[in-house]
Amino acid sequence: MSLAIAALNATGITNIHQAEATSISYPNFAKTLEQICTYSSFHVGRPQ
């Protein structure tokens, strides 16, 4: 999960294999990450 957060700042395409493993420790991780990214893009903006 921490590498998924780190990938938000990466350039290019990031592939995360076996992401379904998060369902054990944080079942709503993907939804929460999507909400954070959506909120961030509307309220903070992305660096250019």
In a domain, 32, yes or no: yes
Q: How many domains does the chain have?
A: 1
* Confidence tier at 36 by pLDDT (50, 70, 90): confident
3: its two tokens: 């590498």
In a domain, 48, yes or no: no
Report the alpha-carbon distance of residue 48 to residue 45 in Å, rounded: 9
In a domain, 27, yes or no: yes
Alpha helices (H) in 1-48, listed in sequence order? 2-7, 22-25, 29-43
Q: What is the domain extent for residue 21?
A: 2-43
- Mean pLDDT confidence for 19-48: 79
In a domain, 22, yes or no: yes
Q: 10-31 pLDDT, tens per residue?
A: 888 888 898 888 899 999 998 9
Please give the angle made by the CA atoms of 3, 43 and 39, to the nearest 5 degrees.
50
In a domain, 23, yes or no: yes
Beta carbons within 10 angstroms of residue 7's beta carbon: 13
Instruction: Report the chain's mean pLDDT, rounded to a whole number.
Output: 82
* Confidence (pTM): 0.64
